[in-house]
């Protein structure tokens, strides 16, 4: 019989949900952004996500961007925190003084409610819920009621991540979503950088100015980026804090990390709901990188391009948006 469970406990003295199904396990922190901070293959000792354990915990509590899968609503940067949508003006707080921008939104440190937890012979799962309304500090800047559900399910097929947003306000809202997913590369114990090859489903690189805002221009991929698209790249070939269009490879909008020494390929299939990527590698640190799927491009509401290109979504009253992603090893 397959070992499986879904149970509540603590991690570094904060509430946590532990999921287990066969060889895979995961840990999610509901009160810290509903962040899934661990996904492992326990039989092989693989750790696919960068975990905030030990000495990293204090840094994670101050800035939870570089561990787990933080939820970005809205994602990335907005020029001076300001934009217009449907005749309405928005003024988000400037929380990145060095660029004068707003960055990463309101919910990555919010307390999410555990709405469902269950384990069956098929999967172990948890659903967390956040009601973004007048009780949330971010409502002062984005005054629309939105209800989020985020579900993580571990099974023999790996990890399935489902995000749902429902616009419960009376007007169409600008909807922008992303994840600051942080992956270990290498992920296998004993492996080194020379053992891995990385693939990214990127198409063209958006030009960014000195304030890391999109100019609306695009460039072809350089040699290192082209190797990443081909699946044979090094994610640390240079310092990356770059923005790309998504361009599926073999039908998948995915990231892959192939470990030749371990004989295993890890796949992060973001799914077709995310049309753009940010890729960040913390100044080519050689240990982890962040392939960040986003529904829209950086500063999307301020870019003079069609919504089909910017990815800016107008979510109508009562409308539900859903995105499904997967992580697995093969």
The model's confidence at residue 98, banded by pLDDT at 50, 70 and 90, is very high
Q: Please give the Cα distance from 116 to 179 (Å, whole number).
A: 22
Per-residue DSSP letter, 169: S
Closest to 162 (Cα-Cα) out of 56, 329, 330, 321: 321
N-term to C-term CA, the chain = 22
Q: Does 279 score more than 90 pLDDT?
A: yes
Structure tokens at 5: 């469970």
This prediction's pTM: 0.97
Distances (CA, A) of 302 to 95, 99, 298: 18, 16, 9
182-215 pLDDT, tens digit per residue, is 999 999 999 999 999 999 999 999 999 999 999 9
Domains, in order of start, for the chain: 4-329 (2.70.98.10)
Distances (CA, A) of 165 to 113, 177, 284: 15, 10, 34
Cα 7-64-42 angle, rounded to 5 deg: 40
What b-and-e string marks burial along 245-262, b requiring 16 or more CB atoms within 10 Å of the CB?
A: bbeebeebbbbbbbbeeb
| Other beta carbons less than 10 A from residue 207's beta carbon | 14
Closest to 155 (Cα-Cα) out of 325, 5, 324: 5
Q: Does 1 score more than 80 pLDDT?
A: no
Q: Tell me the pLDDT of the chain averaged across its residues.
A: 97
CB-based contacts of 124, cutoff 8 Å, min separation 6? 4, 5, 6, 19, 20, 21, 118, 153, 154, 155
């Amino acid at each position: 019989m397959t070992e499986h469970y879904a149970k509540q406990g603590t991690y570094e003295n904060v509430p946590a949900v532990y999921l287990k199904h066969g060889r895979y396990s995961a840990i999610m922190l509901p009160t810290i952004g509903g962040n899934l901070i661990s996904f492992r293959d326990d039989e092989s000792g693989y750790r696919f996500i960068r975990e905030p354990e030990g000495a990293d915990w204090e840094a994670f509590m101050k800035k939870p961007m570089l561990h787990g899968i933080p939820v970005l609503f809205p994602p990335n940067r907005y020029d001076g925190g300001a934009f217009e949508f449907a005749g309405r003006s928005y003024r988000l707080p400037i929380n990145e003084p060095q660029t004068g921008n707003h960055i990463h939104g309101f919910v990555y440190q919010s307390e999410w409610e555990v709405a469902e937890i269950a384990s069956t012979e098929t999967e172990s799962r948890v659903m967390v819920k956040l009601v973004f309304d007048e009780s949330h500090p971010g409502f002062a800047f984005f005054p629309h009621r939105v209800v989020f559900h985020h579900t993580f399910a571990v099974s023999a097929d790996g990890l399935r991540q489902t995000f749902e947003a429902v616009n419960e306000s009376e007007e169409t809202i600008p909807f922008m979503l992303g994840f600051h997913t942080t992956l270990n590369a290498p992920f296998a114990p004993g492996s080194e950088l020379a053992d891995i090859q990385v693939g990214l489903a990127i198409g063209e690189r958006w030009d960014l100015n000195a304030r890391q805002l999109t100019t609306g221009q695009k460039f072809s991929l350089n040699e290192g980026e082209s190797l990443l698209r081909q699946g044979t790249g090094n994610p640390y070939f240079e310092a990356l804090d770059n923005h790309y269009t998504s361009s599926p490879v073999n039908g998948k909008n995915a990231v892959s990390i192939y470990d030749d020494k371990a004989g295993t390929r890890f796949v992060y299939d973001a799914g077709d709901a995310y049309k753009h990527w940010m890729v960040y590698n913390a100044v080519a640190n050689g240990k982890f990188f962040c392939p960040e799927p986003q529904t829209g491009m950086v500063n999307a509401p301020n870019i003079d391009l069609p919504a089909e290109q910017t990815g800016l979504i107008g979510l109508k009253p009562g409308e539900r948006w859903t995105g499904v992603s997967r992580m697995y090893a093969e």
